[in-house]
A and B are shown apart, each in its own frame.
Chain A
Amino acid sequence: MKCPRIVRFAGLAMAGSLLVVACGNDNAEPSAQTTKPTAGATITVYSGRSEKLIAPVLADFTAKTGIEVDLRAGDSGEMAALLVTEGDASPADLFFSQDAGALGAVESAELLATLPQETLDMVDPAYRSQDGRWVATSGRMRVLVYNPGLTSEADLPASVDDLLDAKWKGRIGFAPTNASWQSFVTALRVLRGEDAARAWLEGFAANDPIAYEKNGVVRDAVNSGEVAVGLVNHYYLYEKILAEGQDAVKAKNHYFRNGDPGSLVNVAGVGILRSSKNVAAAQALVDYLLSKDGQTYFAEKIFEYPVASGVAQYDELPSLADIAPPSIDLSDLSSIEATQELLSDVGLLTK
């Protein structure tokens, strides 16, 4: 009863097709190429990535393969918790996570299937699971976003260690509960050991950094001059320029170089659920995301670093080779709970 009514009212092509699927009909695939055996299949994707970011690339995938995608978007950690709670009964075929940590959590709950070697080989070994159960689709870098009106470029720190200098007291914004910040701290623990990481955090805490709810808020606080600099991911700046125009955005990105932990590259990635009954169709989506088309979307439309198929990054960004980010095993970044404990010990997670 509800389905036809909603289809009638909701103009969205996607909502319409999804609802047709929800009604149990299967005649909704586009009339495009149906050469693959998987065409006409429907896969369910749980996504920690925002629907707004990935809906266009999924729509392209459906147009090219005839495979429909049911998307359920939420927070990566909540989606991982959802998958762990559902267990083998999960309706999901594929998990598209915002970060390696959530993929690692689902992997260690033994819910992910092993990916074929050809798929894994498309991506640098640094950006995939050691056990071959998930693979990165794009990367993002930690940067220092700064307000040129509040700090000269010459004063900008060369390393995160320089942020402990007293001249930054009360002038640094960060997002204590944000997963990317916690990944950075996790990288610090992994790269330098627990004691050195604790020492850095204590120095950072002593500098009275300002805590914000999330990266976007940190960026806005820097742009409005509330704080001089902020620890965020590289693409937040370009998102704001895209939404509000270059004129409205004063802030700029500053990159740490030469293996400094401050330029940690974290990835979004995908894994196929072991319980999936549509493995071939789910695999087709993984392959599409790593193809030239998929990678170009991530690079050009949402300003991320591509990880496969020889696609280059967005023009405004420095190349990864130029930055030389720290080399780290991304699966080591899953120990976020230990990071939270440490952060809470030094008084940076909760005040």
Chain B
Amino acid sequence: MNVGRRVRVPAPLALPAVAAAVIALIPAFYLATQAFARGAGNVWDEIFQSRTWDLIVRSTWLTAVVTAASIVVGTVGAWVTTRVALPGRAVLLVLFALPLAIPSYLSAFAWISWQPGLEGFWGAVIVLTCACYPYVMLPVAAALRGLDSTQEDVARSLGRTQRQVMWGLVLPQVRPSITAGGLLVALYVLSDFGAVAAMRYETFTWVIYGAYRAGFNPSRAAILSLVLVAAALILVTLESRARGRAGAVRIGSGVGRNRRNTASPRAVVGAVVASLSIIGVGLGVPVVSVISWLGRETQRSVPWADVRGAILDSFLIGLLTAIATILVALPVGIAASRYRSRFSSAVERSTYVTHALPGIVIAISVVYAGIVGIAASRYRSRFSSAVERSTYVTHALPGIVIAISVVYAGIRLLRPWYQKLPLLVLGQLLIFLPLAVAAIRNSIEQSSARIEEAAKSLGAGTMATIRRVTVPLALPGIGAAAALTMLNAMKELPTTLLLRPTGWETLATSIWKYSTVSDYSAVGPYALTLMIVTAVPTAIVTSLTVLRVSRPSSPGRQG
């Protein structure tokens, strides 16, 4: 196991990691300032209402069910695409991942316009599970693909049943991937408003939006958001417990054996049924629904110039956000997976906080980002894990709360960049950093730390090892993190609305613009374009996360 080396995080990694943590904590700082402006008594009054508790219960229940469902669907999807002898498994995997490209507010509306009776808890579960299971499926598929099947063969030869091998050997090895994906799912469900609003299932985010929209009361919204911060901290802590001590356990490459994929009729039939269900529910319903809106567009010509402009603006914002996010996430990811210590964990968690700071921070982060990621993955300590966790907190906050935090910090500290690209990128970076950190970390943890030890034993310094061994090994994960950030930034709405440069229209803001006046035939072209455009980074994420994972086997035909 490459875990638990109690090493001091090297300073060149620690500094950017700490900087990231500081930035990621800005929204939390803003929220605390706003919340306690009228005294702690006011905070307790707002939080300790029976309505608040009812909503916390409803949100908790929804989060638990969606997370469990995403873990089941995601794990089944990963198993089907890596362990069953089906033709075209790579294509299947991309199709399974495509719901990532569909914003939850859009798929919720698609479901309701098809099946109004679904409104409520189970409708919200379906929409959110479809939006979220790829966050479990991709890392689990990557882990399954990277496992050394020799171990399974040995276990079988020693008399273990297939089931015993699955529960006793395979699952423990993919458990960190499952819990990491599950954490992202849970945080997302806590923060979601679009899907639960369309599905009329009242959750905690309803009162936060109500405080802004009907109460005109940012400080009440801030107080209520503290509850989500607390929930995020609890979830992050639970996850690091549940992740357990299991790490990637394969030692060295080249000694593995070609895996035989299951070809038993029962498994194949089950896999086909599962595949059709996943694709039909996650992809079929929203796509068909949006195409039916497009059909109504025949009376009017589609404003292609507007659509093209929206694609460009979305693309540019997505690209810049992806670059900035990777630069910040990399050092955190590395520190959390390789330098586990109190120091590196604190750094990792604090970087989640630092994402509220503007361009200066981004510039600094760009330089040090690689360092933080290394610290988090290779220098595991309480510090690096705290830093990593701090970056997750913002993921549980609704976009509007992040946007207002960035407004608060930006209008005072970064006036020249206010409502310009750098601040918008910062806002988006704060939201999507955890996705990038998780992807990078997952990728580094799947490469053996022994290779880095070998590099050091051959005389390479710490930073040279990171630069020449750790980062190159993690490149597919870094690429996947970039594509994941990009596709999410392209469909993001609340932050874009408040922080975009004047006159910019993304695909998401165009969809919003027409749906607020209920003009769904005008929404159609933008919605379909958004799904098509974001399908490209989705395919890239899939390919880099799973298909590029080098199998431990020697070259040969794959089942």
Chain A contacts to B: CB under 8 angstroms: 2, 5-6, 9-12, 14-15, 17-19, 21-22, 44, 50-53, 70-78, 80-82, 84-87, 89-91, 101-102, 105-106, 177, 179, 182, 211-213, 216, 219-221, 224, 226, 236, 239-240, 243-244, 336-337, 340, 344, 349-351
Contact = CB atoms under 8 A, between A and B. Distances in A.
B400 A10 contact: no
B118 to A, nearest CB: 13
Contact of A179 (B200, B214, B400): B214
Nearest to A350: B202
Given A19-B503, A82-B407, A85-B404, A52 B215 contact: no
Contacts of A15: 309, 503-505
A311 B400 CA distance: 39
Interface in B300-314: 305-306, 308-309, 312-313
| 8 closest residue pairs by CB, A with B | A18-B503, A11-B305, A77-B213, A105-B216, A10-B309, A216-B518, A70-B502, A350-B202
A89 B220 CA distance: 22
Contacts of B453: none
A284 B313 CA distance: 32
A109 to B, nearest CB: 9
B256 interface: no
A85 B408 contact: yes
A81 B521 contact: no
Contacts of A219: 518
A17 B213 CA distance: 30
Interface of B: 51, 54-55, 116, 197-198, 200, 202, 206-207, 209-210, 212-218, 220-221, 296, 305-306, 308-309, 312-313, 316, 400, 404, 407-408, 411-412, 415, 418-421, 497-498, 501-505, 513-514, 516-521
A334 B213 CA distance: 12
Contacts of A221: 116
Nearest to A109: B216
6 contacts: A73-B497, A73-B513, A78-B212, A177-B214, A220-B518, A244-B296
Contacts of B206: 177, 350
A236 B518 CA distance: 9
Q: What's the dominant secondary structure at chain A's contact region?
A: helix
B540 to A, nearest CB: 23
Contact of B502 (A5, A21, A82, A220): A21
A85 B411 contact: yes
A336 B214 contact: yes
A177 B216 contact: no
Contact of A213 (B116, B200, B407): B200
Nearest to A53: B517
Contact of A91 (B217, B418, B497, B513): B418
A78 B521 contact: no
A90 B513 CA distance: 23
Contact of A6 (B217, B218, B312, B411): B312
A350 B54 CA distance: 9
A307 to B, nearest CB: 21
Contact of A351 (B202, B212, B220): B202
Nearest to A86: B411
Contacts of A224: 116
Contact of B216 (A71, A81, A90, A240): A81
Contacts of B218: 81, 84-85
A71 B503 CA distance: 7
Contacts of B504: 6, 15
Nearest to A70: B502
A190 to B, nearest CB: 16
Contacts, number: 154
Contact of B516 (A2, A50, A336, A340): A50
A136 to B, nearest CB: 18
B306 to A, nearest CB: 6
A283 B548 CA distance: 61
Q: What's the dominant secondary structure at chain B's contact region?
A: helix
A12 B116 CA distance: 36
Contact of A78 (B220, B316, B498, B516): B498
Most A Cβ at <10 Å: residue of B214, B421, B521: B214
Given A12-B309, A19-B503, A50-B513, A102 B216 contact: yes
Most B Cβ at <10 Å: residue of A18, A75, A337: A75
A115 to B, nearest CB: 20
Given A89-B415, A179-B214, 7 more contacts: A11-B305, A15-B503, A76-B213, A213-B198, A216-B518, A226-B116, A350-B54
B216 A77 contact: yes
Nearest to B113: A220
A2 B319 CA distance: 13
A339 to B, nearest CB: 8
A89 B503 contact: no
A75 to B, nearest CB: 5
Nearest to B520: A243
Contact of A51 (B200, B202, B213, B513): B513
A8 to B, nearest CB: 10
Contacts of B313: 6, 10
A211 B200 contact: yes
A216 B517 CA distance: 8
Contacts of A53: 517
Contacts of B415: 89
B498 A340 contact: no
A178 B448 CA distance: 55
B222 to A, nearest CB: 10
Nearest to A104: B216
A12 B209 CA distance: 32
Contacts of B197: 177, 213
A77 B212 contact: yes
A179 B213 contact: yes
B309 A11 contact: yes
Contacts of B210: 177, 340, 349
Given A10-B309, A240-B518, A182 B214 contact: yes
A350 B55 contact: yes
A178 B312 CA distance: 33
A98 to B, nearest CB: 10
Contacts of B520: 243
Contacts of B217: 81, 337
Contact of A239 (B207, B296, B498, B518): B518
B419 A91 contact: yes
Given A10-B309, A11-B305, A177-B206, A52 B514 contact: yes
A330 to B, nearest CB: 15
A70 B212 contact: no
Contact of B503 (A22, A77, A101): A22
B511 to A, nearest CB: 12
Contact of A86 (B202, B407, B497, B513): B407
